Structure 1
Amino acid sequence: MKWHKTTFPGVRYRKHRTRKHGVAFDRYFTIRYFHEGKLREEGLGWASDGWSAQKAALELAGLKRAQKRGEGAVTLAEKREAAKNEREIRATEGLTFAEIFNERYFPQTKADKDPQTYNRERSLFKKWLSPTLGKLTLIEIAPIHLEKIKSRMKRADLSPRSVQYALAVTRQVFNFAYRNNLFTGDNPVKKVKMPKVDNKRLRFLTREEADSLLKKLQQESPETWEMALLSLHSGLRASEIFRLTWIDIDTSRGQMIVKDSKNTKTRIAYMTTEVKKMFLGKIPGKANDLIYPGPGGNQRREVSRAFERIVKELGLNDGITDRRDKVVFHTLRHTYASWLVQQGEDLYVVKERLGHSTLQMTERYAHLALDSGQKTIERLENFLKQPEDKENAKRKYQDQGNATS
């Protein structure tokens, strides 16, 4: 194959063997230039497709200018890739929110998230997001549409947490579209004020309440009793209990390996004597067998309704209207943490036992630390009751002045 030079440096061409363009043989143009210390040659196209030596030279000059300024595509391959992405974006800009959710986002969510999460997202989409956003393209969706969703959910007396969750799903769809070159605009959720949410459960069980609950569960639903014991004595979430396999249990060390927790980190949970006794009394399965499988041997999705029934029978929620004060299965984990703090355990240790990602999440228990707030006031009152040693106070004041001078 013979290459021919042109009057433009870095531009050359080869002739087609048979095909003509006008009176001359068709010419295929390429450009040659140095990139990152290496000579690079990239093809442009045929004269019959509109290319000429002059046009090739202009293309080369543009790439060199980009290299010099450090802006934009610096090779023809990069430029073509950018153009391809732009074409794909233009082609997908016509996709509606419903099409992106159903055909792109949800299949990925189903593969990455647990069943409870993706079913919750699908439910929010069908009932609250789709009626307002479903037929709109992403570029058409504005904050006003999201405010409409907020208003509808508020009129339906849904909790602020549910509204927040719906907006979070919307934000995730936009982020997914952006990452996959389906959308290039701004995420409208950023411009919408999130409702304030206070889901902190302040109630925890007394020893008497906990003992009554465990005793009743053991009598009427032994497996639910075992799971309740794990949450109350070891601080496990229900989802973490559902995922436990026999390979995670080490009774000789009194430890459990908690995998795939809410913050995605693996941690060690510790057994009390009663928890260890409970595991030793069970017949172990195979290493990877679930300890508490659901129907068909699959992973459970929820705690047995026996728990709710027995809580009702014991009257633990009688007269309580605020859902944050009601006893649910998660109350057992909350009680575990509360008891640790009351016994003087350091908040950082409690954080590690609970598997919290930040200390801020654990600080809700700080007020339980040996009545620390009341003790502080008592110490202040004792100080105020003592007669002031004026001479000693004067010396301290002088010492402080000398130290700062």
Structure 2
Amino acid sequence: MSASRFYKTEFKGVRYRKHATRKHGVQADRYYVLTYKIDGKTKTEAVGWASEGVKPSEAYDLHCQLLQNRKKGQGPRTIAEMRAEGDEERAEREAEKRRQARLNISFKEYFEKYYLPEVLQANRPETVDKTKIQVDKWIDPVVLELPMREITLEYIKRIRANLNKKKRSPRTIQYVFVTFNAIWNMAREDGFVEGESPAKKRSFRKTMPKVDNRRERFLTRDEEDKLLAELARRSRQLHDMALLSIECGLRRGEIFALTWDCVDFESETLHLRRTKSDKSRWVPLTQRAKAMLLNMEQGSAGEFVFLDRFGNQLKALSNSFDKAVNKVGLNDGITDRKMKIVFHSLRHSYASNFLKSGGSLYALSKLMGHGSINVTERYGHLANDDLVAATKQMEASRTSERSGGKVVPLHRTQGATE
């Protein structure tokens, strides 16, 4: 640009200076400014380059508009004030645009932008994958691009109708709506929706299918031995994981997450830090489980006890387990899924063995990491024999006291009373 020399135009108050090298057409590019007096002082303000679309006539129109504003005492008096006012208007427009976007955000958009990043940080990969499937397969096809705030009970019923039409299990149906409610609750906390999830309405919850997925099958000692022998033949690691579940009641995910610093051979305990409830717990090691772990090549603290073939944490169970179950014939002729042996059955077998050995339901609840004693009470029938034996012992003791220390048969005591 040339030194600060300004040239007049045919329009009063509009001047320009030339760029030293840059051209606009055949002429040097021109930079237009306005010069006027305000509050007794001469002020010069930039308008812009001719190459950017500024014309001297338009600059003059702007000059006249500002002059009228100054005379009336209304509106921006300078270009700076006009630009500031424009910035405020743009900011208001942007704020309104963002507000409308929040009001009109769809379920899928909120899930992908806000909910999913949180889930990725706090949950296991398999949990995240299941959540994605529930949203993509069951929720989104019904609500489409509808704003979340417009999702009503009608749409919730459509989702359930689709699940029923595809004959999905009651547990799957429950999981879909647990996911829906979790996403809705987070959106409400973030200010995207108001009020309770439509899936939590009493009229809807009352018609939800009842779920009873409790496994009723337990392995006998003989079945345990046969299964472990077949697993050992196929995979030593799979055998060791199954043994740990049978002996200590660990869940599959807890076994996958077990690291060597969680194994305390001296106190003969396992410290489970990554559990289903996110609450750590201590589990006693049986001598059989301890011997198995001592026989393994032990890694450093923080290293996973069971690794995949690449040396990383296990993410899934090998199908060799199902093959071993089939080979031993544990599920032969069984059609009821609750009676079939799966890996989780090993944990239930631990519970069965514990109670049959005289353990209490309360102790079992703590060992298995149940969130409530109500969950443990599903095993209550296994302790019936102990309850019967305890009742008979109480009765015998009472009879002994009445007979002066001699045990009298119950029927004789009853006859004497009569």
TM-score (norm 2): 0.70
The answer as to 2:240 corresponding to 1:219 is: no
The answer as to 2:203 corresponding to 1:176 is: no
Alignment match, 2:13 = none
Alignment match, 2:107 = 97
Alignment match, 2:317 = 303
The answer as to 2:133 corresponding to 1:123 is: yes
Alignment match, 1:159 = 169
Distance 1:283 1:177 in 2: 47
Q: Is the 8 A contact 1:214 1:228 kept in 2?
A: yes
Distance 2:411 2:112 in 1: 67
1:126-275 to 2 correspondence within 5 Å? 126-191=136-201, 192-193=204-205, 194-275=208-289
State the 1:134 CA deviation.
2.8
Distance 2:238 2:390 in 1: 41
SS in structure 2 opposite 1:171? helix
1:13-92 to 2 correspondence within 5 Å? 90-92=100-102
Q: Is the 8 A contact 2:244 2:289 kept in 1?
A: yes
Q: Is the 8 A contact 2:102 2:192 kept in 1?
A: yes
Q: Aligned to 2:414, which of 369, 374, 387?
A: 387
State the 1:85 CA deviation.
10
SS in structure 2 opposite 1:288? coil
Residue 188 and residue 89 in structure 1: after superposition, are their counterparts in 2 closer, same or farther (change >3 A)? farther
Alignment match, 1:329 = 343
Q: Which amino acid aligns with 1:110?
A: L
Residue 260 and residue 361 in structure 1: after superposition, are their counterparts in 2 closer, same or farther (change >3 A)? same
How many residue pairs get aligned? The number is 320
Q: Is the 8 A contact 1:139 1:185 kept in 2?
A: no
State the 1:314 CA deviation.
0.7
Q: Which amino acid aligns with 2:258?
A: L
Q: Which runs of 4+ in 1 moved over 4 A?
A: 18-24, 84-90, 372-380, 382-386, 388-391
After superposition, the CA RMSD in angstroms is 3.1
Q: Is the 8 A contact 2:356 2:386 kept in 1?
A: no
Q: Aligned to 1:345, which of 359, 377, 382?
A: 359
SS in structure 2 opposite 1:214? helix
| Deviations 1:339-396, CA, capped at 9 Å, x for gaps | 101111011111111011111111111111152566589899x9789636658xxxxx
Alignment match, 2:327 = 313
SS in structure 1 opposite 2:298? coil
Residue 255 and residue 174 in structure 1: after superposition, are their counterparts in 2 closer, same or farther (change >3 A)? same
Q: Is the 8 A contact 2:358 2:386 kept in 1?
A: no
Structure number with bigger Rg: 2
Q: Which amino acid aligns with 1:119?
A: D
Residue 188 and residue 240 in structure 1: after superposition, are their counterparts in 2 closer, same or farther (change >3 A)? same
Distance 1:168 1:224 in 2: 32
Distance 2:339 2:359 in 1: 24
Alignment match, 1:291 = 305
Q: Is the 8 A contact 1:343 1:370 kept in 2?
A: no
Distance 1:354 1:119 in 2: 26
| Deviations 1:7-44, CA, capped at 9 Å, x for gaps | xxxxxxxxx9x9989659x9xxxxxxxxxxxxxxxxxx
Residue 318 and residue 86 in structure 1: after superposition, are their counterparts in 2 closer, same or farther (change >3 A)? farther
Distance 1:256 1:266 in 2: 10
Q: Which amino acid aligns with 2:282?
A: I
Distance 1:233 1:85 in 2: 60
TM-score (norm 1): 0.72
Distance 1:171 1:324 in 2: 28
Distance 2:392 2:253 in 1: 42
The answer as to 2:365 corresponding to 1:365 is: no
Q: Which amino acid aligns with 2:218?
A: F
Unaligned runs of 5+ in 1: 1-15, 27-47, 50-83, 392-405
